[in-house]
Copies of this chain bind each other. A is one copy, B any other.
């Protein structure tokens, strides 16, 4: 890849097709080059992630580790020479897993096969002695709704629909499956089930159970049933054994519970804009994680990338026109309290957020961005696509951004999500192998640079200059 000729190509292209001045395009090309080079040769994201993952570890909301992560990231932001660094208090739920879960399939009295199982976040415990019952396998929550009480009462409901392997976006495959995990127990409880187990949200066949949030909705406390996930290999085995003998039993024991809400914090740092300090651009990610791994991909990667955006802007000599904030949100995984609190405070203060970018799809090679916002503003961003071409950033599509920034949505803000390669993400998501070794340094750094590049462009041009309001074509 020879960068020089490419810059010239881009210049010509821009002159011909957009209103950006040729000099701007040259400047922007060089600035992006500097941002990527600095991230790849002098980035801090990987070093920060090493600490967050290996020295602190999993950071479930309300845990000691979550608070250590708040302290650590705040202290690191304070080394960057930002204009402000502060903690935003937020009360968060505190769910604890308790003792390690225990589970098996009983094919005959005394004949058992061990099962890799984990409680789902928010689930109640089993009785102290655990639950042992027959199993009814279903493929969806809707299937439960079509069933009679006699089919389900006194049984464990096993939700076993696999993620759809032929979808190219694994996030789409996840979206098509995850309601089994989230709503399964609520529906099964209505028909007298004793518990639910769900096939892990994982496209691979392996032995790792994947946790994640579930909800009882308006189910009365006394009617709540324990809910757990089993590994994909165990799901295949259980399903196969049920075909041989529908009377086999399943046992699981877990003593997780929901405690009282506790105090926690969003961690925020800011470079105040020189020209338009009241126009706010945020980059963010969530600092909490599940507890089984160390949360490197979900979402330690996004946190350290977001932190490095502000550092890379400074390292490459930029003084932003607008105010650039990094926000590390607490409690995305089981409550979204941090995102809700941030948006609420912003509204109370009358802050004008023009752009919010979240990284919460893993630290893999960046492919582009997804956007949510007015078409005429997204069209402006599409004009910058060619600047990203040398970095193999091709994907610029409307549709989705990030959970934490969602509450900022209004008729004018542009929300965006970094879109990394998704193929390996659900191999690790919410499981014990979401660990530092699964993150590649260069891929992480390319993501940080890609985010910084977009923030640089939004800061430089804003969204007000070319409001042609033409409909979005791409």
Contact = CB atoms under 8 A, between A and B. Distances in A.
A165 B37 CA distance: 8
Contacts of A427: 440
Contacts of A128: none
Contacts of A395: 392, 394
Interface string A19-38: 00000000000000000110
A167 B423 contact: no
Contacts of A392: 168, 367, 394-395
A203 B442 contact: yes
A392 B167 CA distance: 12
A388 to B, nearest CB: 11
9 contacts: A1-B168, A36-B168, A41-B165, A168-B391, A203-B442, A204-B441, A365-B423, A423-B442, A427-B440
A166 B36 contact: yes
A446 interface: yes
A243 to B, nearest CB: 21
Contacts of A391: 168
Interface in A401-433: 421, 423-424, 427
Contact of A365 (B167, B172, B421): B421
A401 B40 CA distance: 27
A390 interface: yes
Contacts of A423: 365, 440, 442-443, 446
B37 A166 contact: yes
A167 B390 CA distance: 10
Interface in A281-301: none
A175 to B, nearest CB: 10
A11 B439 CA distance: 39
List 3 A-B pairs, minimum CB-CB distance, nearest first. A394-B394, A37-B166, A40-B166
A358 to B, nearest CB: 19
A169 interface: yes
Contacts of A390: 168
Given A40-B166, A168-B446, A423-B442, 8 more contacts: A36-B168, A40-B165, A41-B165, A170-B442, A365-B365, A365-B421, A423-B440, A423-B443
A367 B364 CA distance: 14
A40 to B, nearest CB: 5
Contacts of A440: 423-424, 427
Nearest to A34: B166
Interface in A346-388: 365, 367
Contacts of A441: 204
Contacts of A367: 392
Contacts of A167: 1
A451 to B, nearest CB: 16
A367 to B, nearest CB: 6
Contacts of A421: 365, 421
Nearest to A38: B166
Nearest to A395: B392
Given A1-B172, A172-B1, A392-B395, A165 B365 contact: no
Interface in A79-111: none
- Interface centre among A170, A391, A424, A443, by most chain B C-beta atoms within 10 angstroms, is A424
A390 B394 CA distance: 12
B41 A442 contact: no
Nearest to A426: B442
A417 to B, nearest CB: 14
Nearest to A446: B423
A442 B424 CA distance: 8
Nearest to A39: B166
A258 B407 CA distance: 67
A180 B103 CA distance: 56
A399 to B, nearest CB: 9
Contacts of A394: 392, 394-395
Nearest to A474: B9
Contacts of A443: 423-424
A461 B11 CA distance: 34
Contacts of A40: 165-166
B169 A1 contact: yes
Interface in A107-124: none
